[in-house]
Structure 1
Amino acid sequence: MKIIVCMKQVPAGTKVDIDPETGAMKRLSGDTRTNPYDLFALETALQLREKLGGTVTVLTMGPPQTEEMMRDAYTMGADDAVILSDRKFAGADVLATSYALAQGITVLGGADLIICGRQTTDGDTAQVGPAIAEHLTLPHAAWVAEITGADESAIRVRQDLVSVSQESEIPYPCLITVDKDMCVPRLPSYLLKKETAARPVRVLTFEDLPDQDLSRYGLIGSPTAVVRMFAPPEREKQVYLEGDAAGKTDGLFAILTGKKII
């Protein structure tokens, strides 16, 4: 069983800089972390490998700094790690991102099963996984809440949709996106960290991809564009009023009238 897990490094908080020209986030301007939904995808892959055998490869698109995330995946049990990294990929929307990842999967020789997290915490579109499957013409199931069975020929899943639950059996090769709470991601292993310290993380650039049409990648290949993006305003700090009930009432009244709320 050859499994590929698509992962993404996302901002760890709201304090990120915005490019004034493109409206895109400067992803290296703040702290980052592994997209939480992708941890469920990786754990799902590792459990399937334990049951069926095979390998788990993690794949991401991003700057070279995403190697830290990939090494974290090694400490959880991933066998291989690959980064798609090239300035030509910058500014990609869902369509361009999914196409580049699909091309990367093609370079890796495809997979029996591709697993993605349900969505990312920075984009929240939940579209990249299904779009990858469409580019690769693979059957797929999104928002998988449970894997009810798996063998060497097919995987059986339950999807919790808006108002119904649906069970499907999907033959390999295929793609699924998994929801949270379907498993508990394992903790990183210190022993695996030591064992994989010298294990390489492969980097693929635009030149490595079979389709060299620049109009399919990055900002150029993105039919949608960000009109405006901004960080949410900081919330005001809490104010504690001291004194008796009458004094607190007068203080609250002064604050509300000062803000012209009343």
Structure 2
Amino acid sequence: MKFLVCVKQVVDTSQMEVDPATGRLKRNNANSILNPMDRNALEAALSLRDQTGGRVTVISMGPPQAAAVLKEAISMGADEAYLVTDRAFGGADTLATSYTLASAIRKIGSFDLIFCGMESIDSNTAQIGPEIAATLGISDVSAAIGLSYEKEGYVQVERQFGDDLEVLDMKLPGVVTCTGELNKPRYPSIKGILKKDEVEIHNLTAADLPVDAGRIGMKGSPTQVRQVRPVVPPKKENLRIEGKPAAEAVEELFGAMRKLNLV
């Protein structure tokens, strides 16, 4: 079987910095990591490859430094990697990103199963996987917490809705988005670490893809992030009533509670 995993280089939320001049996240290799749920997606593909045979390809869209997460995926066991990179793709929202990735996937070839992390920690939209499936015209199931391949041509996916467990048989080819509950990602192996610098990262630019220039980058993005800023929690105020008669203290307390609409 042929598996494809979409991965993304994201800003580590524990080291997130905002450029005060532009209101945008500062992105560099020093504070960037492989999106956590993409690790679960990669593990799902590697586990199925171990079971059925085949190849695992990883793809990412981003600036040249995003090659770092592709190399990490290679060290975990992926077979080949593609980086979709071009200034023309800059500023893309989820619609333009999914269109660009789908175009790249068509360029690379056909796949039995495409995996994505359910969402990225820098935007949390959970839209890329379903939009890729819709653009390619194939099946998709989101938020997988369980996955098995027991019937040829189908993959069985489990997902949780409150107290209910939904079990679906999805006809291949299709897209599955993965949660952190799906599996425990493996660590890079010594063999993989040595291999990551030997495997070529194939670059795909706008000129390499059958894309409509009006549907990529900022031109193809009907939504744009205007600003990112840290959320400052409101300052808590404490009320202490001391040295007053009980009745007066109670009245003052109830007055404060009424202002807060607590009574």
Name the residue aligned to 1:226. Answer: 225
Secondary structure of 1:5's partner? strand
Q: What is the CA distance between 1:162 and its match in structure 2?
A: 4.2
Is the aligned partner of 1:16 residue 2:1?
A: no
Deviation at 1:207, TM superposition (A): 0.7
C-alpha offsets along residues 88-123 of structure 1, whole Å, 9 cap, x if unaligned?
A: 111111111111111111111121100001100000
Is 1:102 matched up with 2:108? no
Q: Give the number of aligned pairs.
A: 234
**Residue 49 (structure 1) aligns with:** 49
CA 1:18–1:169 in 2, change beyond 3 Å: closer, same or farther?
same
The aligned residue for residue 140 of structure 2 is: 140
What one-letter code is carried by the residue in structure 2 that aligns with 1:107? K
SS at match of 1:121: coil
Alignment of 1:7 with 2:7, yes or no, is yes
Q: Show structure 2 runs of 5+ residues with no match.
A: 236-263
Q: CA deviation at 1:161?
A: 2.5
Mapped partners of 1:43, 1:146: distance in 2: 12
Please list the CA deviations of residues 125-169 of structure 1 after superposition, one character each: whole Å capped at 9, or x if unmatched: 111110110111111100011014344411011111245321111
Contact 2:29 2:65 survives alignment (8 Å):
no
**Letter of the aligned partner of 2:93 in structure 1?**
D
Query: Secondary structure of the equivalent of 1:17?
Result: coil
Give, in whole Å, the separation in 2 of the partners of 1:234 and 1:58: 39
Kept after mapping to 2: 8 A contact 1:146/1:182 = yes
CA deviation after TM superposition for structure 1 residue 227, in Å: 2.9
| TM-score, length basis structure 2 | 0.83
Kindly state the Cα deviation for residue 196 of structure 1 after the two structures are TM-superposed.
3.8
Q: Residue 76 of structure 1 aligns with which residue?
A: 76
Establish whether residue 217 from structure 1 lines up as the match of residue 212 from structure 2. no
Which stretches in structure 1 are left out of the alignment for 5+ residues?
A: 237-262
> Percent identity at matched positions?
37
Q: What do the CA deviations read for 1:169-190 (whole angstroms, capped 9, x no partner)? A: 1111111001112211001112
Match of 2:200 in 1: 200
Residue identity matched to 1:92: A
AA at the equivalent of 2:8: K
Q: Displacement, 1:225?
A: 1.5
CA distance in 1, matches of 2:186, 2:29: 29
1:124 matched residue in structure 2 = 124
Structure 1 residues 76, 151: closer, same or farther in 2, change over 3 A? farther
Alignment of 1:163-178 (within 5 A): 164-178=164-178
Question: Displacement, 1:26?
Answer: 3.8
- Say if 1:3 and 1:57, in contact at 8 Å, map to a contact too: yes
User: Aligned partner of 2:37: which letter?
Assistant: Y
Q: 1:235 to 1:72 in 2, by over 3 A?
A: farther
Return closer, same or farther for 1:125/1:193 CA change in 2, 3 Å cut-off: same
Aligned-pair Cα RMSD in Å: 2.1
2:33 is the alignment partner of 1:33:
yes
Q: What corresponds to 1:91 in structure 2?
A: 91
Alpha-carbon distance change, 206 to 19 in structure 1, aligned in 2, over 3 angstroms? farther
Query: Residues 96 and 235 from structure 1, CA distance in 2 versus in 1: closer, same or farther, beyond 3 angstroms?
Result: same
Preserved contact between residue 14 and residue 231 of structure 1 (Cα < 8 Å): no
* 1:64-101 deviation per Cα after TM superposition (whole angstroms, max 9, x unaligned): 11111111111110000100000111111111111111
Counterpart secondary structure, 2:143: strand
Q: Rg larger in 1 or in 2?
A: 2
In 1: Cα distance, 2:218 partner to 2:19 partner: 16
Larger mean Cα displacement after TM superposition, 198-207 or 10-19: 10-19
> Given residue 224 of structure 2, which amino acid in structure 1 is its aligned partner?
A
What residue identity is the alignment partner of 2:230? Answer: A
Please say if residues 52 and 152 of structure 1, whose CA atoms lie closer than 8 Å, have aligned partners that are also in contact: no
Please report the TM-score for the alignment, with normalisation by the length of structure 1.
0.83
Give me the whole-angstrom Cα distance separating, in 2, the residues matched to 1:162 and 1:136. Answer: 30
Q: SS where residue 119 of structure 1 aligns?
A: coil
